[in-house]
Chain A
Amino acid sequence: MFRKFLVMALAILVSFSFISVSFAAEGNKRKGKYTYRKVYKACHERGEVDLAKPPINPDGHTQAEWTTIFEGKTFDEFGCQEEWSNLGENQLADIYAYLHAHASDSPTPLKCK
C-alpha cells in the first residue's frame, strides 16, 4: 500500500515538474518581459491603474508560486483583468517564463525596472 502511494506521489511530482519545465521551456522570457509591461501600459492608458508599470515584480513570488498561478490562471492579484484575458497562450507562456526565471528563489531574482 505504502509502495503504491509512494509511486503515485512520485509520478505526480515528476509530471508536475515536467509541466513546469515544459511551460518554462516553451516561453520566451525576453519577449515575456515586454508583453508583461505592455499589459500595464495598455491598462494605464485605459485608466484602470495609476502607473504603467507592473505591480508585481518577478521576485514577488517563488518559482513554485509562479507555476501554481499560471497553471491555475489565477491572475486576480495582478489587476487589469481585461488585458490579462486578452492574452493568448503563447503570450502567457512568455510572461511565465520571464517571471519564473527571475523569481525570488531563482539564481537571478529581479525587480521590474
Chain B
Amino acid sequence: MRTPKLKHGFGATLVVAVCLAICWPAVASDTEEEAPGRAMAHQVVKNQALWNTTAHSQHAALNKSFNSGKEITDACLSCHNQAADQFKQTVHWTWVAGADHGKAEYSLNNFCISTNRTADKGCLSCHPGWGMKKESINCLACHGQRKINWGEAFEDYNAFSGSSDVEEREIATEIQADIQAAAQAVGLPGRSNCGDCHFKGGGGDGVKHGDLDTSLTNPDKTLDVHMGIDGQDFNCTRCHTTVNHNIAGRLYTAPAAAHRKSLVEDDLTSKIMCESCHTDKPHKTSAKANDHTDKVACQSCHIPQFARVNPTKMSWDWSKAGKRKNGKPYKTKDEFGQFDYLSMKGQMKWEKNVLPEYAWYNGSIESISMKDRINPGEIVTVSRPVGSREDENSRISPFKVHRGRQPYDKIHKTLVAPILSGPKGFFKTMDWDTTVPTGQKALGLPYSGELGFVDTTYVFPTTHMVAPKDQVVACGECHTRTGGRLENLKGFYMPGRNYNKWINTIGWIAVLGSLVGVTFHGLGRILSSTRNGRKEA
C-alpha cells in the first residue's frame, strides 16, 4: 500500500517541478515588461476621452415646459430625426429575436418564467417606453444622466400646475424645473442607465446574471479591471459598441465569436471580444498561457469567481410557493440578507463568490420556447451553450447555471407561465389554478389543467467582473487529477487531469532513461578527461 503513495508523491513533485520550469520564465518576466496583449489594449484605449459637439441645455427644443414624456421624446426627435426609426427596429424595443424567441414572444427562463407576450405588465418596467407602455420611446431611459421619477413628476406637475393654491403652483414650478434639468442632461448611456435593467434583471439586484449587479455601478479594479473607477473606468459602451442603435455584444443570435475581429484589423468592428483589444496571443511570448487561447476563453482564467461583492440567485423552486404561516403569506431571509423564501415566489438560494461551471461555447445560446415539448423525466435545459471541442470557434467558457423547479403542463408536456403581476397575478393570489390559465391564454397556448413541476437549468455566460492578474485561476485548479474546475468536461485529454497507465509508464521510462543516459555520459566524459589528463601529465 505504501509504494503507490510514494509513486504518486514522486510523480506529483516532478509534475510541479516541470510546471514551474515551464511557467517560471513567464511569471518572473511578467513583472519586468508589459505583456503584448496588455500593451495592445492600452494602445487601443489610450484616446478614450469623450467629447461633445453640443450642449443640450442650450437647445430651444429642450427649454420649454413638458407635460408628458412623449413631449420630451418629440423634442429629442426634432433634431435626432432618424433615431426613433432606428431604435424601433432593435431588440431593445421589439423584444423579439427571431421566430418565437424574445421576451415579447415565447422565450422563457427559470426566474419569472415569461412576459406572457407582454401581457404581464410588471415586466414592462424594463421596456424603454414611457409609462410602461410600448408607445413612445423614452430616450432618457438610456441617455438620461439625471434620474427622476418621471411618472410621479408628470402626474404631480399636471395636478398642481393649474391649482388656485399658490403653494401648489410653486411646487409645480419646482417640479417643472426638475423635469427640464433632467431632459437636458443627456449623453452616452452610463453604467446606471444599462444597469437599471441589466443589473436588476429577474426582479432585483444580481438576481439573474451573477457577473452583472449594482456593484458594477462604481466598482474598483479588484472587481473589474476594465470598469474599475480607479483603473480604466470603462463604461458599458466601451465594449458594447452601437450601430444604428443596435447594441453589440449580444451573444445569442449574432455571436462575436464567429468573427473574433481585432480592432487592429478593423477599428470600426461592432462585435468586440477580449481578443479585439488584447489579441489572440495576449501573454508574453514565453508564457504557456498563450497556448491556451485557441481552446480556452480568456474569461475562464481571468474571472475566477462571480458575484464577488453582491450575492446572486442560484436556484428558484416555484413548487414551494404559496405556503402560509397563521394563514398569512410570509418571507424569510438568509445570511446575505436576501429573501430565501417568499410565499409569493417560493424557495430561493443565494450565493457569493461563486465558481463558474464550464462548457464549450461558440458564442451562441440555444433555448427552448413556451411552445416546445419537454421530457419531464429529466432535467430540462431551458437554455444551453452551443459549442464543441471540434468547433474552431468554441472555447471552454465559464457560466452561471441557474437551477429552477418550475410549472409544466403534465398532458401537453410544455412549460407553462402564470401571470405574476397585477391584482389577479400569482404574486397576489398565489393560486396556480387561475393564474396559469390566464397566462397561457395570453400566450395563445393550450393548458390542460394538469399542473406539475419539473427541474430546469438556465445559463448565463460569465464575462464581466474580470479580476486583476494576481487573482487568475492557477494552472493546478484545472490540471489536477480530481476536483478540478474542468472535471465535468469530458472527451478530451488534458495534461495533469487525464491519466493513462501505459503512457505514463513509457513517459517515466523515457525520463529516467534520459537521466541515466545523461548521468553515465557525463561520468564517462569526466572519467575519460581525468584519464587523458593523467596521461598527458
Contacts and interface: CB of A to CB of B under 8 A. Distances in A.
A30 B159 contact: yes
Contacts of A31: 160, 165, 167-168, 171
A34 interface: yes
Interface in A12-48: 30-31, 33-34
Nearest to A113: B149
Nearest to B165: A31
Interface in A40-97: none
A113 B155 CA distance: 15
A30 B174 CA distance: 14
| Contact-residue size bin, chain B (C-beta under 8 Å from the other chain) | 10 to 19
B264 to A, nearest CB: 47
B265 interface: no
Interface of A: 30-31, 33-34, 113
B181 to A, nearest CB: 15
B131 to A, nearest CB: 16
B33 interface: no
B149 A30 contact: no
Contacts of A34: 156, 171, 174
A25 to B, nearest CB: 17
A113 B152 contact: yes
8 contacts: A30-B160, A31-B160, A31-B165, A31-B167, A31-B168, A33-B156, A34-B156, A113-B149
A33 B165 CA distance: 16
A30 B156 CA distance: 7
Interface in B121-178: 149, 152, 156, 159-160, 165, 167-168, 171, 174
Contacts of B171: 31, 34
Nearest to B155: A30
A37 B118 CA distance: 35
A33 B156 CA distance: 10
A113 B150 CA distance: 11
A16 to B, nearest CB: 26
Interface string B169-201: 001001000000000000000000000000000
A34 B157 CA distance: 12
Interface string B483-520: 00000000000000000000000000000000000000
B411 to A, nearest CB: 39
A14 to B, nearest CB: 28
B105 to A, nearest CB: 32
Given A31-B165, A31-B171, A34-B156, 10 more contacts: A30-B156, A30-B159, A30-B160, A31-B160, A31-B167, A31-B168, A34-B171, A34-B174, A113-B149, A113-B152
A34 B155 CA distance: 13
A33 B157 CA distance: 13
The CB with the most chain A CB atoms within 10 A, among B149, B152, B168, B171, is that of B171
Nearest to B170: A34
Contacts of B160: 30-31
Contacts of A30: 156, 159-160
A113 B363 CA distance: 39
B4 to A, nearest CB: 64
Contacts of B149: 113
A70 to B, nearest CB: 20
A61 B149 CA distance: 23
A30 B168 CA distance: 10
Closest 4 CB pairs of A and B: A113-B149, A34-B171, A30-B159, A30-B156
